[in-house]
Structure 1
Amino acid sequence: MRFKLRQLSHALAVWKHHSFRRAAEEQHISQPALSRSIHNLEESLGVQLFDREATEVTLTAFGEVFLHRAQALLVEADELEREMNLMKGLGVGRFSVAMGAYAARVAGVPALAQLLAEHPGLQVRVENQNWRDTERLVRNRQVDLGFGELAHLQEASELHVESVGQHEVVFFCRAGHPLLNPTTPVSAGDIDAYPFVGPPVPYRLAHLFPRNGTVDEKTGDIFPPIVVEELNAVCAIVARTDGLGAAIPVAIEDRLRSGEIAVVPFQAPWLRVDYGFIRLAARSVSPAAAAFMALVRAAEPELEQRNRALMAELFGRAAPAT
């Protein structure tokens, strides 16, 4: 049994007017074309929907049952079309994203806030996850998109990975920390002498962080002495202990300006973070996800400029050209 929505519209018009002529006028087609449409519909159903009498057209028992259901189908079809159009315009829709702590703080949350300000009808779910769980949620189709650190990712054909931000990172500590007024330049060994506060680190990035953590036997991940996933919590702990944190300067600028924390005078070319989007290559991008990605991409050049300017201020470099 196959029929088309326009055939349902034709049949409902005949039912409404009890006339093929008036139904054809309402549907803006010729009467012979309408008659063929109804005939083909009855042929596909294998039943007669209308009794054609000399003065009017009436429903058969089959027609009464069928057209009551057909009316509901057309209402649902109209509502479905409306919802698809709203989704394309982001008037409605759902969006789920898993974000790493640093990517979320620097670019993800501001972009999400802007998206919701522009499209308040969206329903959004945010998962704040470490790098490993972000990838897992994407692979398991539990979120539409991952947004976080990328350097750990092995090349995989099933994933589409897009880098959007590469920024220098600094170590930071509490005000008055011993590393802030060194008699000699701070070395990697000096950094290793203090407990690191932060999330687990993929083994491929172990060289970026102090070598005072423990190695997970199953995954090879490096677990720092103080494991903390959320950046605000890292800052709060570092501000009250001798532990060290690491972050993109713009992510902690307000705390640096307040004097709550300070940047350790240590730089190395490998102290960089690379973050971006992670999604399944075979899965289409929803309108809401595409809009979020566009907002992040649009904001990234300014973020890069701000971070470079802040690094120049912190380490006495020449300010970058604008």
Structure 2
Amino acid sequence: MPLKIRQLAHALAVWRHGNFRRAAAEQNLSQPALSRSIQNLEESLGVLLFDRQTSEITPTAFGEALLQRAETILIEAAELEREMKLMKGLDVGRLSVAMGVYAAELSGNRAVAGLLKSHPGLQIRLQLRNWRDVERLVRDRQVDIGFGEIGHLMTAPGLRVEPVGRHEVLFFCRAGHPLLGRSAISEDDLDTYPFAGVPIPSRVAHLFPRNCRIDETSGDLIPPILVEDLTAMRTIVAGTDAFGLASPVQIEPWLRSGELAVVPFRASWLRLDYGFIFLASRSLSPAAEAFTTLVRGIERAVEEQNRILADEVLREVKPGAVPSA
């Protein structure tokens, strides 16, 4: 009897769980069906793969040898299946993408909607993550494409990085905040109030308010009010003395309504810098290619909107000096 890919997956599940019942549940099989699959695999190879005499099922020497190869075989089989599906085109294809919150809100979500409007049969899995998780998901082959912060990745081995968005961002606060009513403020003024936001990459962490914490492991800046969702950030800022960070178009409706206001502070380092992240060794699917095209089209319009709105709301504010490290 020839060895089958699904049998390798069953053996790996038994090894991971050390238990036939839990492994069967993971593989959506009954326990007897999983046991028969492992027995058939053992019979076809003529060896015993698992020691069933202890409370926790453990691999034999033969089992360890098989399991070392099985994981690689399954990864390669999945890659082969993926390559075949790439050739089927958009209408029966799939797209998995991980996006940072700023990139998603500015253009990524709209690009996904546009893709589905043109190709309603496309299956999409969208994950909103922090910028470090976006990179990890790409490297682990859990997503086809990443779309987020790229400043730390321009020379990263094994990755292909394509810049897309570079937009000015502004500090914002609630209407009536003590920071308002002045033509300009300093970094010391910002230090007086808590910053609500996502983790800030280490390359620019020293530029942000000093009441934030620096993570000892990564060097990233951790705000006193850590949020991974921009809607939550805007809500918190609107109801407290905290201030947030966003591109002008992301807060335009609240600026127009008077609920939020722009802090009179402008600096050249206050910019988003995000783009596409791929594995250099991996082909892009037609769906991923279409996604990147839609994003770039949206970004061109966003760039112009941001520039006009930033100049409008901060017309009288002169750019400040970059604070020292």
Settle same-fold status: TM greater than 0.5.
Answer: yes
1:87 is displaced (CA, Å) by 3.3
1:185 is displaced (CA, Å) by 2.4
Alignment of 1:100-119 (within 5 A): 100-119=100-119
Unpaired stretches in structure 1, ≥5 consecutive residues: 1-79, 318-322
Structure 2 partner of 1:271: 270
Is the CA contact 1:234–1:245 (under 8 Å) kept in the aligned structure 2?
A: yes
Structure 2 partner of 1:130: 130
1:256 is displaced (CA, Å) by 1.6
Structure 1 partner of 2:155: 155
State the AA in 2 paired with 1:232. Answer: T
State the AA in 1 paired with 2:227. Answer: V
Deviation per CA, 1:62-118: give whole Å up to 9, x if none.
xxxxxxxxxxxxxxxxxx9xx969832x11111111110111000101111111111
Is the CA contact 1:169–1:271 (under 8 Å) kept in the aligned structure 2?
A: yes
Q: SS where residue 127 of structure 1 aligns?
A: strand
Alignment of 1:16-95 (within 5 A): 87-88=88-89, 90-95=90-95
Is the CA contact 2:86–2:93 (under 8 Å) kept in the aligned structure 1?
A: no
Structure 2 partner of 1:98: 98
CA distance in 1, matches of 2:106, 2:161: 19
CA distance in 2, matches of 1:267, 1:185: 8
How many residues matched?
234
Structure 2 partner of 1:25: none
Deviation per CA, 1:205-238: give whole Å up to 9, x if none.
2144222111222222111100001101000000
Structure 2 partner of 1:192: 191
**Structure 1 stretches of at least 4 aligned residues deviating more than 6 Å after TM superposition:** none
Deviation per CA, 1:25-48: give whole Å up to 9, x if none.
xxxxxxxxxxxxxxxxxxxxxxxx
Structure 1 partner of 2:234: 235
Alignment of 1:253-272 (within 5 A): 253-272=252-271
CA distance in 2, matches of 1:300, 1:207: 28
Is 1:205 paired with 2:204? Answer: yes
1:132 is displaced (CA, Å) by 0.5
Q: Compared with structure 1, are the counterparts of its residues 118 and 222 closer, same or farther at alpha carbon in structure 2 (3 Å cutoff)?
A: same
Deviates more, 1:247-256 or 1:122-131: 247-256
State the AA in 1 paired with 2:170. Answer: V
State the AA in 1 paired with 2:160. Answer: H
Identity across the alignment (%) = 59
Deviation per CA, 1:141-171: give whole Å up to 9, x if none.
1111110111232512311000011110100
Q: Compared with structure 1, are the counterparts of its residues 85 and 109 closer, same or farther at alpha carbon in structure 2 (3 Å cutoff)?
A: closer
1:178 is displaced (CA, Å) by 0.6
CA distance in 1, matches of 2:315, 2:216: 42
State the AA in 2 paired with 1:120. Answer: P
CA distance in 2, matches of 1:315, 1:167: 15
Is the CA contact 1:159–1:278 (under 8 Å) kept in the aligned structure 2?
A: yes
The TM-score, its normalising length taken from structure 2, stands at 0.69
Q: SS where residue 162 of structure 2 aligns?
A: strand
Q: SS where residue 87 of structure 1 aligns?
A: coil
Q: RMSD value over aligned CA atoms?
A: 1.8
The TM-score, its normalising length taken from structure 1, stands at 0.70
Q: SS where residue 179 of structure 1 aligns?
A: coil
State the AA in 2 paired with 1:309. Answer: I
Is 1:306 paired with 2:324? Answer: no
Q: SS where residue 186 of structure 1 aligns?
A: coil
Q: SS where residue 179 of structure 2 aligns?
A: helix
State the AA in 2 paired with 1:304. Answer: E
Give 1 or 2 for the bigger CA radius of gyration.
1
Unpaired stretches in structure 2, ≥5 consecutive residues: 1-80, 317-325
